Structure 1
Amino acid sequence: MEQTPAEQRNVPSANIGRIFLIDDHRLFREGLKRIFAEETDLVVCGEATNSKNVFVQIPQMKPNLILIDISLPGMDGLELVKSLRTQYPQIWLMILSMHDEELYAERALRAGAKGYITKRASITELLSAIRTVLKGEIFLSSACSKRLIYSLFNQRAESKKGIEQLSDRELEIFRLVGEGFTTGEIAQSLSISIKTVEAHRGNIKQKLKLGSSAELLRMAIAHSKKT
């Protein structure tokens, strides 16, 4: 029986970009699949809502690009990128997130991603970004690229301030605090001890010069609303 165009595109080929989606919003994933269905050189070969089954599905689905959100249940996007980069170095990784690229793009590249694009981007920008990364090139928005280049070559640049000082794990905990997670819930979500969470919270307060947990909560909520 002759294969349909969709079935033909789902066969691994050097000419087809096989994309695996990791995002916990079903409607958003469905929207992406509809967009890619219109493209002759792209196909969604698999999807997941979190990191739980990703490492089982990837060898079966054989993607050459994985699109990853930052905010995921359990292991967050940055930690997932680090794990995937170690286990599957041949697969390109790209962050597609609602979070501010000014804060997360550089972290994503350091973690092992090849690109970062926000969910506010147009369809044309998204497709361009995906095709850029599939060629093995780095993709960042023009504005973000300029900021990173300036930061890299400006020898008089000041040391990082504010939230930018936080480590990836501290930033993850800061984000969860802003989303209303308790210390116990954060510990359970990240599979770490309550003492470890409390230690990170202490480091966050010290770096951000916050005198109390209430100040930390207010700042985290305010940041969450902005992103």
Structure 2
Amino acid sequence: MKNRPRVLLADDHQMFADGLRTLLGEEFELVEYVADGVAMLEAAQRLRPDVIVADITMPRLNGIDALTQLRANLPDVRVVFLTMHHDAAYARRALAAGAFGFVLKHSAVQELVLALRAALEGRIFVAPSLGADLVARHQTNPGRRTDPCAALTPRQREVLKLLADGKSVKQVASSLSISTRTVEFHKYTMMETVGAKGMADLIRIAIRYGLVSE
């Protein structure tokens, strides 16, 4: 019997991970389950799976940063992100970091196996709805982007405005009823999106383009 492809699963939602075991069990061998980005790095180095299924937002180290670090030692690693973030900006960052796939959690039953098969063949799979968004944004502005803040999501804008008002990460999280790690991830994503070198630079750019007041 042909050996099944070996999959490492990294997701901090235990119940969702249990569901993936059933979904993938017939075609893939789940070699280990971990619940944070640091554990994902360790398990990937130790087990050398054929492909990794990872969430983006995880404790200790987010999935995209984990992939960036992992590629330094395992340049051929194949990671498919499975996330709740329905935003082309996340997909762009994931693919730029070297991901082979980007699948939305609500479409996992229909798309995850397809994404894993594509990754194992060296092909990239992006959720069809996000793929259309990526193409549309490129066609709208294929060259330079005059307003880098235009790509920020409504939630990112909320976070940025509160941070610009001098709120701490904890205060922003409390105000928006989200976790502090989600606030930190929004900060990182916004800096990547607009090309800011740090939080102060991000706020200066936001002021320049009228997103927040000085």
Aligned pair count reads 181
Q: What are the within-5 Å matches in structure 2 for residues 123-202 of structure 1?
A: 123-152=109-138, 155=142, 158-159=145-146, 161-162=148-149, 164=151, 177-178=172-173, 179-181=178-180, 200-202=198-200
Question: Residue 113 of structure 1: SS of its match in structure 2?
Answer: coil
- Quote how far apart the aligned CAs of 1:207 are: 3.0
> Partner amino acid for 2:198?
H
Spell out, residue by residue over 1:191-214, the C-alpha distance to the aligned partner (whole angstroms, 9 max, x if none).
xxxxxxxx83333333333237xx
Which ranges of structure 1 fall in alignment gaps of 5 or more residues?
1-7, 191-198, 213-227
Spell out, residue by residue over 1:142-192, the C-alpha distance to the aligned partner (whole angstroms, 9 max, x if none).
3333333454466467445436369xxx99x96x7553539xx96xxx9xx
TM-score (normalised: structure 2): 0.70
- Quote how far apart the aligned CAs of 1:105 are: 0.5
Q: Provide the alpha-carbon RMSD of the alignment.
A: 3.4
TM-score (normalised: structure 1): 0.66
* 8 A Cα contact 2:80 2:115, kept in partner: no
Alpha-carbon separation, structure 1, partners of 2:104 and 2:55: 10
* 8 A Cα contact 1:18 1:64, kept in partner: yes
Quickly say closer, same or farther: Cα 1:120–1:207, change in 2 above 3 A. farther
Quickly say closer, same or farther: Cα 1:161–1:65, change in 2 above 3 A. same
Q: Would you say 1:26 and 2:30 are equivalent positions?
A: no
Question: Residue 121 of structure 1: SS of its match in structure 2?
Answer: helix
> Partner amino acid for 1:47?
Y
Aligned to 2:95: 109
- Quote how far apart the aligned CAs of 1:80 are: 0.9
Alpha-carbon separation, structure 2, partners of 1:146 and 1:36: 27
Question: Residue 52 of structure 1: SS of its match in structure 2?
Answer: helix
Alpha-carbon separation, structure 2, partners of 1:69 and 1:163: 26
Spell out, residue by residue over 1:33-79, the C-alpha distance to the aligned partner (whole angstroms, 9 max, x if none).
11112x2x311111111123333322432311011111111211111
Question: Residue 198 of structure 2: SS of its match in structure 1?
Answer: helix
Alpha-carbon separation, structure 2, partners of 1:156 and 1:119: 32
| 1:210 aligned to which of 205, 209, 212 | 212
Which ranges of structure 2 fall in alignment gaps of 5 or more residues?
161-168, 189-196
Alpha-carbon separation, structure 2, partners of 1:155 and 1:62: 38
Question: Residue 8 of structure 2: SS of its match in structure 1?
Answer: strand
Question: Residue 53 of structure 1: SS of its match in structure 2?
Answer: helix
Query: Which deviates further from its counterpart, 44-53 or 110-119?
Result: 44-53
> Partner amino acid for 1:20?
L
Q: Which runs of 4+ in 1 moved over 6 A?
A: none
